[in-house]
Amino acid sequence: MWFALAAKSRPDSRHALEALREIMTTTQLRDGQARVSEWASHHNNLQVASQKTEAEELNTYANSHN
């Protein structure tokens, strides 16, 4: 999972990911991809929630200073 996530943003990590994929079983590869999907979904949801909270705080601040 971590190698796959790193490879998305760091090109030098792709070589390590490819080497790892060569020795992993199909089951391990599927499990790793599922973990990447779960991690990305969770963290994207956290990021969206954080952005919504920040927007709400800005709106509250703006409304209280009008």
Handedness of CA 9, 13, 19, 20 (dihedral sign): negative
Tokens representing residue 33 in the block: 């991809």
**Residue 34, amino acid:** A
pTM summary value:
0.60
Residue pLDDT, tens place only, 2-47:
888 888 788 888 888 889 889 999 999 999 889 988 888 887 765 6
Asked whether residue 54 carries a pLDDT value surpassing 80, the answer given is: no
> What range defines the domain where residue 42 resides?
2-64
Angle at 47 between CA 1 and CA 3, to 5 degrees: 15
Q: Tally the domains of the chain.
A: 1
Per-residue pLDDT at 63: 72
Long-range contacts, stretch 25-30, CB < 8 angstroms, 24+ apart: none
Question: How far apart (Å, rounded) are the C-alpha atoms in residues 11 and 29?
Answer: 20
